[in-house]
Structures are given as structure tokens and as C-alpha cells.
Chains A and B, each alone.
Chain A
Amino acid sequence: MTLLSNKRLSSIAELDAQRKELLSSRAPSTKSVYVCTGPGCAAKGSPKLYELFREAVSQANVDVEIRAKAVGCHGLCEYGPIVIIEPGDIFYQRVEEPDVAEIFRETVLGGRLVDRLLYEHPATGEKLDTVDKIPFYQVQQRVALAYNGLIDPTEITDYITEGGYSALAKVLSSMTAEEVVSEVEAAGLRGRGGGGFPTARKWRSCREAEGSPKYVICNGDEGDPGAFMDRAIMEGNPHSVIEGMLIGAYAIGSSDGYIYVRNEYPLSVERLKLAIEQAKELGLIGENILGSSFSFDIRINRGGGAFVCGESTALMASLEGRPGEPRAKYVHTVESGLWEKPTNLNNVETWTNVPAIINRGGEWFAGIGTEKSKGTKVFSLVGKVVNTGLVEVPMGITLRQIIDEIGGGIPDGKRFKAVQTGGPSGGCIPAEHLDARVDFDELTKLGSMMGSGGMIVMDEDTCMVRVAKYFTDFLQKESCGKCTPCREGLAQMLYILDRITDGEGQVGDVERLEGLAELMEGTALCALGKTAANPVISTIRYFRDEYDAHIKEKHCPAKECRGLFRYEIDADACKSCGICLQNCPAEAITGEKKVPYVIDQEKCTLCGTCWEKCPFAAVLKV
């Protein structure tokens, strides 16, 4: 399928010709099998499915062209591995190795559906055969993820066929640097890495800053746990990130780029490396790109497993080969960043949006979203929600739409309790604010933030004090230790939270936490410390009663904190089977046939074994 003779493209006309050739070489009757090999599906073994489909294709003795493609994340990870068949946009879910032969025979060759593998509408039970009928996809709007799931990320030709690098061509042939910045400004694009800083303003400052060389960096550190949007983009459509960087570099006047990728993402590094190599071969990266006077090179650096390195100044320290400690930002990095030169840093998703904006115009982009938050945002919707996965929605959609309509609500008939956004610097938003609109300013008003796009749903079984403790513990371990408020403040907060969840909380602890929070916000060196108390403050704000129950009544309402609830046997549900008695390591359970068993609270060590083992759910937490 690869037509390119690895020939350097020395002009825009050659790029266009190449694309035309690629398009015309694909017969209209071509059948395609798209196997999702995104993070979720891959963890469930989809690469093997892809191999099997390829084998099937090579052995099929038919005169139509069939191609099997390994593509990036398709979104509905919960139902993975996902396989899509074209023509027809047929969506198969939870595909396993033995299903491959049947799909190939029935659907690819025979044009018939394999009913068993179709997605079932959760409410009506109706089998839905195509992607656009599935509620999960209906509310979504894809810009950043537009080609994820359609192109093979290891083939630059796929990207080019879909119009890739045409935005770069447009910029090089017909736009001045200032025009590019103005277009991005008209789009109203704001940074997707957390802060929501206007991208065009950053570019312009960097362009106007004194000094050379200038550096352009892509932040692929994706440190927020629970977030994998950037991973899905880097692995599913790496060329869109590269094209975005090329356009940004052109606008800023830079010829040196870096991509900083999180250490835990080896596949992202591999995909980006390959993409850069392929782009270099075609002359899309390097000297005199497409015959213009613009030159640009990109290097990839891997992180070392430190959360703080996602912060701009720490990231630059890391790129200089030093420990990733942030510095105070009274001098902006656009003036003095990497090696004390003007440096422009943007997030992966921010870069990915750039080619689309250039191709379709800033006005089009600005037509999506709310007044101050334009475009779409990718979220990783995870936790206690039915349809976990990757979603892209227009800004301004409500949290409820994301969680209920796209996410399908909470599993196991449980009640929704909170949704955590913004990563460790974010906050928890309770049910009463589910109708809030998702945009930068709205989420900040609620005491959380947009962050990079992690959206973690929690149900009634989640103890909010523990959630606060989890994030405090996380940040305490990740604090670089350079400034005292963050290093010591977090340790003190953790100490207090520990004692609250151990049942040793003291009246006044909540106020102590609030005092520390205020102190850290006002005095910490970098944004990590300044926002570190957000999880604690937002849970106090919305779930103060849970803190009070722990402290005053020594009771954990979610029944998660050991020692702050009891186990009891429900006499009505108990079938006297004796399984709990056999498994109790403390010999705390007594009972005999036909009589409900009882737990001796004096002897019970609260290990929870009986609760796990009871086949009739007769052991209760009270």
C-alpha cells in the first residue's frame, strides 16, 4: 500500500501530487478492517487480533482489495477490543481471537453481520450495528481525535491521504507568521495542558522576545493519573502533533523542537520517533521544508518518572539534564526558558488542534464551544462509570451529559457521588453541580479545574476524605522539595488526613487543613504547591459532613475506612451456609444450621473476609 518512494518532497505541488496518487490508488470497492490498538484495547490483547486479521487477508483468495489496519484509540475502551469494518461502519465489540475467522468470513467477505458481537443498547437491548447509532458516540464531536481510529499511526501515507500536512503546506505557501498567529487567535484556542492560557498570546510573546535560537516544545508528560488523552493522540495520530509543532515553529520563528514524553509511555516514544523519521525522509522535517526557507528539527526526550516535570520550568530543567525543579516565574519562559532562550511550550492536544484550525479557519473553531472556551476537549472518562473511555466533546456540554449520556451512568445500580477533574491539582464536583457546563472558567468557579482532561467518576462507596488523602499523599511524594510550604505543608496535611481516616481526628482538624491550604496557596514556589490543597479544599467544601462524621462520630459514611464501620450479618439474608465462619481468621463468627450467623464484635478484626466471601451478600457494612 505504501506508494511513496521515500522521495523527498521538494515542493507543495509534489505533496499534493503525492496525495492525489494515494487517493486514486485506493479502489472504491476496498474493504477495510480497523483493529483498535489504543491503550485499553491493546491491554486486552488487540495486537494479536490485528495479526490474525492480517493473516486472514493474506490468505483470502478474492479479487477485491482488503486491508487490515491497526489504528489508535477508538474511545469506547470498556467494550474493547473494538474492530470496525468498512464499508458499513460496522462496530464489533469485545472481539476475541476465535471471533476473527467468523468476522472475516461473514462480514468482510459475506457482508453479513455477526449479531453476537454487536453493541447492545443498554436501555432497550437493541443490537446496534454502526458507530453512529451508539449513544456513546452520538454526543461527541471530534476534532483532535478526528483521525484516531482511521489511520495507521505508523504510516505517514495514511495521514497524508486524509489531508495531513496540507495545513503546513498552506502556511508555507500563503501565510505570514503573523497571519498564522492571528488565525489561532481568531480560533480562541486555549492551552489544553491545564492552565488554559491563550495559545496565540503565548506564541506572539515568544515571537517578539529577544534572543535566538528560539525553542518550541511539546509537553507530552501527561502526569495526571487517570488521564490518557495525550497518550492516545501521540500513539494514534503522532503526525498531527508534529504538524502542529511545525506550524507553531513557523509562526514563532523557531527551528528547534523538543517533545518531552512521560517515561511510562514507551509506545508513544516509539510512534513519535517513527513518525519523525518518516517525516524527515519526505522532507517535512529538516532543512528547507517543502522547498521553502523554513527549517525545523524535532528531538524526543523521555521523562524520568517525576510528576513535577510536567510543569513548564521543571520540564525545561529536565531537558537541560538537571533534576526537574521548577523556578519562580517572574521571568516568563517565552522570554527565558530552555537554555535561557525564548521558549514556547504547549500541550499535545493543543498542538493537535492547530492543523485543523489552519485548514478550516479560526472562525470555524470559534464556532464550537462557549464564549471564553472554544473548540472541543478530550476527556478520559474513567472510574465508576459504565462506558469508560476516551471522549471528545464540544466545550460547554454539561457534566451530566458526559457522565450519563456518553458514560452511561454509574454501574451496579450505585449512586453517583462526585466527579474529579483536573488531576491532583483539581477538585471533586458533587451531584448538585452536574448541570454545570464544562469550560475553563466554570470548572474553576466550582473549585476544580479543567486540567488536562482526566474525569474520574466516583460512586457512593467512595470515601471523600480518602480521596483527598490519596491526592495529598501523591503530591507529597511528588513534591520536589525545593520550597518549604509545599514540602512541609503537604506532609502536615497528610499527617492530619491520616489521623482523620484512622479515627483519631480532632475537632479543629478541618480548620487546620484550611489554614495550611491558604498558606500553601499564597507562598509555594510553583503551581504544584499553590494548587496542592485543591483536592482537600474542594472535598471540605462539598463533603464537610463526611469529615465531621469521621472526626466526631468516628464513622466513615462510605464505609471504606477500616475501623470506622462494623460488619454485621443480615439475619433475613443469611442462609446459614457457614462459608463466613469457615473463612473468618479471627474465629469471630458463630452459628449453626438454619439459624442466622452472628459476628462477635469484640473478636472481629474488621478484615472484611466474610464480606468478600458471602455468596448471598448477607454480610453488611454498617
Chain B
Amino acid sequence: MAQDDKIIEQIVDRYDADVGMLIPMMQDLQAECGYLPLEQLHSLAKQLSLPLSRLYAVATFYASFHLAPKGAHEVTLCVGTVCYLKGAPKISEAISREFHVETGGTTRDRLFTFQAVNCVGACAVAPVMIVDGKYYNGVTPASALEVLYGLGKNETSVEKDGET
């Protein structure tokens, strides 16, 4: 607990407790924890003398914030216009079907969190999928599944670490 408070203190100090920098603070908190744990939000609100609802409003407005823990890996599929035209919906369907996961959700075994975003700026090589920061271009449903099956391997206990 004490250590948790320390994280918040550091983050608040980093931005001189400037309320205008609330979003960067929450981004840092998420980078630290993988998501926004409720307890931490409480202490952040307290340190900044803001009502928790204000933080909650921000957390739910912006798509990049998560209130629940994420999977061990981060899978981001672009469904921007170009990727969409070049077959992203089929890839998304295939991933949802094979891994029983909706976009925005995490697989039951916490193997990965599956996100859909609108354009990652690599449209020239669409469709694009990003797994833990690595870009895959010209993806097909089959090649996407192959990459994701690869995630399950070489991993002894996936459930244990929730970090990405």
C-alpha cells in the first residue's frame, strides 16, 4: 500500500501537481500498472483535490484508458478506413471467433487484450496489426491467427504476470 502511494506521489510531483496535466498523470499511472486501479485513482484524486468523478469522466471518455487489468500481450488491430477496405473486418472476426474475445476485451486466460483502433498511420501497408509494439503489415486472417497462436507458446504461466 505504502509503495502504491509512492507511485502516485512521484507522478504528481513529475507534473508539479498541475491539474491541467491530469491526463498525462493518468497515462503514466496506466503505463506503470497496465491499467487504472481504483485505489490508485482514489489517491490521485485526493492528492489533486479533485472529485473521483472527474477522474472517472476522463477515464471513460478516452478509449486508451482501461479500468480493468489487461492481458499479458497487447494485440491492436487497425480498423481504420484503409485497413477496413483491405479486409480488417475479416481479421477481426477470425480473432474473435478463434479466441472468444471481443474487441476491447481480454481473453479468458489473460493471454492478450484485443483492441481495435482507427488507423495507426501505416495505411500504405494495410491491413496492419500490432502485437506488443511490433508491426505486422499486409495481414490476412490466417497470418494474424498464426502470430497470435505463437503468443501462447514459449510461455509457461501466462496467468501469473499481468504486465505487458
Q: Please state if B23 and A318 are interface contacts (CB–CB under 8 Å).
A: yes
CB distance from B122 to the nearest CB of A (A): 4
Which bracket fits the contact residues of B? 35 or more
> How many Cβ-Cβ contacts under 8 Å join chain A to chain B?
132
Q: Encode A548-592 as 1/0 by CB contact (under 8 A) with B.
A: 000000000000000000000000000000000000000000000
Question: Nearest chain A CB to B25's CB is how many angstroms away?
Answer: 8
Q: Is A239 engaged at the interface, CB distance under 8 Å to the other chain?
A: no
Number of interface residues of A (CB under 8 A): 54
By a CB distance below 8 angstroms, the chain B residues around A462 are 85
Q: Does B64 contact A (CB under 8 A)?
A: yes
Are A384 and B119 within 8 A (Cβ)? Answer: no
For B118, give its contact among A225, A228, A480 (CB under 8 Å).
A225
**A383 with B125: in contact, given A319-B20, A322-B58, A474-B118 (CB under 8 Å)?**
no
- Binary interface encoding of chain B residues 4-35 relative to chain A, with 1 for a CB under 8 A from any of its CBs, else 0: 00000000000000011111100100000000
Contact A382–B123 (Cβ < 8 Å): yes
Of A139-147, A300-308, A516-524, the one touching chain B: A300-308
Is B135's CB under 8 angstroms from A43's CB? yes
| Contact between B61 and A304, CB atoms less than 8 A apart | yes
In the bound complex, do residue B81 and residue A388 qualify as a contact, i.e. CB atoms below 8 Å apart? Answer: no
Question: B128 near A43 (CB under 8 angstroms)?
Answer: yes
Given contact pairs A78-B124, A228-B122, A474-B118, A43 touches B61 in the complex (Cβ within 8 A) = no
Residues of chain A within 8 A (CB-CB) of B128 are 43
Question: What are the residues of chain B within 8 A of A227 when measuring CB–CB?
Answer: 119, 121, 123
Q: Decide: A383 and B19 in contact? CB cutoff 8 A.
A: no
Q: Is B71 an interface residue (CB 8 A)?
A: no
Whether A454 and B81, one on each chain, are in contact in the complex, defined by CB atoms closer than 8 angstroms, is yes
Assess whether B45 is interfacial by the CB under 8 Å rule: no
12 examples of A-B residue contacts, CB within 8 angstroms? A39-B122, A43-B122, A43-B136, A43-B137, A77-B125, A226-B82, A227-B121, A232-B121, A323-B58, A323-B61, A325-B61, A389-B124
- Contact partner of B85 among A304, A324, A384, A390, CB < 8 A? A384
Among B62, B80, B120, contact of A304 (Cβ-Cβ < 8 Å): B62
Q: Mark B44-83, 1 if CB is under 8 A from A, else 0.
A: 0000000000100110011111000000000000001110
Closest residue on chain B to residue A389 by CB atoms: B124
**Residues in B whose Cβ lies below 8 Å from that of A232:** 121
Q: Nearest residue in A to B50 (C-beta to C-beta)?
A: A321
Instruction: List the B residue with the shortest CB-CB distance to A470.
Output: B84
Cβ of B117 under 8 Å from chain A: yes
Complex CA distance for A454 and B54, rounded to whole angstroms: 35
**Which of B119, B125, B137 neighbours the largest number of chain A CB atoms within 10 Å of its CB?**
B119
B126, CB-defined interface residue at 8 Å: yes
Please report the C-alpha to C-alpha distance between residue A310 and residue B79 in the assembled complex, in whole angstroms. 19
Q: A225-B80, A306-B62, A318-B23 are in contact. Are A323 and B57 (CB under 8 A)?
A: yes
A231 interface residue (CB < 8 Å to B): yes
Q: Identify the A interface with B (CB < 8 A).
A: 39-40, 42-44, 77-78, 80, 222-228, 231-232, 263-266, 301-307, 318-325, 339, 380, 382-384, 388-390, 420, 454, 456, 458, 462, 470-471, 474, 478, 480
Q: Which residue of A lies closest to B118 (CB)?
A: A225
Find out whether the CB atom of A222 lies under 8 angstroms from the CB atom of B121: yes
Instruction: Check if A383 sits within 8 Å of B82, measured CB to CB.
Output: yes
Which residue from A222, A302, A454 sits with its C-beta under 8 Å from B24? A302
Given A228-B122, A305-B64, are A321 and B22 neighbors across the interface (CB < 8 Å)? yes
Which of B's residues lie within 8 Å of A, judged by CB? 19-24, 27, 54, 57-58, 61-65, 80-82, 84-86, 117-126, 128, 133, 135-137
3 A-B pairs with the lowest CB-CB distances in the bound complex, closest first: A304-B62, A225-B80, A77-B124
Q: How far is the CA of A319 from the CA of B24 in the complex (A)?
A: 9
Q: How far is the CB of A74 from chain B (nearest CB, A)?
A: 11
Q: Are the CB atoms of A226 and B22 closer together than 8 Å?
A: no
Residues of A within 8 A of B122 (CB): 39-40, 42-43, 228
Q: Are A231 and B61 in contact (CB under 8 A)?
A: no
In the complex, the chain A residue whose C-beta lies closest to that of B80 is A225
Question: Given A43-B128, A265-B121 in contact, is the A305-B62 Cβ separation under 8 Å?
Answer: yes
Report the separation of the CA atoms of residues A246 and B164 in the bound assembly, to the nearest whole angstrom: 38
A462 and B24 CA atoms in complex are apart in Å by 40
> Are A382's CB and B82's CB within 8 A?
yes
Is B81 a contact partner of A470 (Cβ separation < 8 A)? yes
Please measure, in the bound complex, the distance between the C-alpha atom of A320 and the C-alpha atom of B64, giving whole angstroms. 18
Apart from A263-B64, A264-B117, list 17 A-B contacts with CB within 8 A: A42-B135, A43-B122, A80-B125, A225-B84, A227-B121, A302-B27, A304-B63, A304-B64, A305-B63, A321-B22, A323-B57, A380-B124, A383-B85, A383-B86, A389-B124, A420-B81, A470-B81
> Which one of B85, B86, B121, B136 has the greatest number of beta carbons of chain A within 10 Å?
B121
